[in-house]
Amino acid sequence: MSTSNPDRPERMFRAGRPVDPDFSPQENLYFRYKEMETVDGRVIPTGIRFPDFSVNRSKYSEPEDVLIPSYGEYGILTFKVKDIPAPERTNETTLYEWKAVHEPTDDNYSHSEVQTFKNGEYKKKLDVPTTLKKKFRMILSERMSVIHEPIKGSAEGHTNPNQT
């Protein structure tokens, strides 16, 4: 089902295109953020949703696409696929890893998620140790860059779907 938004670029529509599971380590990922989620131009770690969060992939998207349909007051952050933190072992039998996964929607073919896997298995609701969540968020926040600053003062009261 397509949106009736005439401002949505044609590139955003899925239009029957298949899932593309192949990500280059150099591919950029984009996501929106609010003014209060940064300090001195850096995203604060708690501004990163966990265990999964939505992004757009640069192979099929322009950075500004993350602001469609109605997030014009938000800013845009980017990082590369290779910036996703390396797998972490919490004990001899438990391995956590993070991967970019293409999850297109009808209105946003580039939509993807950074998903958390435990011992190679993905579950939407996953219990992850707090220390590992903090480490993941800290590492990724240090690797992100601001593309576009949010409009100051206008994000107040607007719910961020990327926030947990």
116-156: pLDDT as tens digits: 999 999 998 888 999 999 999 999 999 999 998 888 765 44
Q: In this predicted model, what pLDDT tens digit does every residue of 22-65 receive, in sequence order?
A: 999 999 999 998 877 778 777 889 888 888 999 999 999 999 99
Taking the CA atoms of 66, 70, 72 and 74 in sequence, report the sign of the dihedral they define: negative
Residue 105 to residue 109: CA distance in whole angstroms: 6
Question: Helix, strand or coil for residue 47?
Answer: helix
For β-strands 53-57 and 42-43, DSSP reports them as: unpaired
- Give the HSE-up count for residue 123: Cα atoms under 13 Å, Cβ half-sphere: 8
pLDDT of residue 153: 67
pLDDT of residue 139: 96
pLDDT of residue 5: 55
pLDDT of residue 24: 98
Residue 66, token pair as written in the block: 């993350």
pLDDT of residue 162: 44
pTM, entire model: 0.86
Name which of 30, 11, 25 is nearest 147 in CA terms.
30
Name which of 146, 114, 160 is nearest 43 in CA terms.
146
- Contact between residue 28 and residue 89 where contact means Cβ atoms under 8 Å apart: no
Q: Which residues, in sequence order, are CB contacts of 22 under 8 Å at separation 6+?
A: none
Point out which residues pair with 100 in neighbouring strands. 114
Residue 153, token pair as written in the block: 């003062």
Residue 18 to residue 123: CA distance in whole angstroms: 22
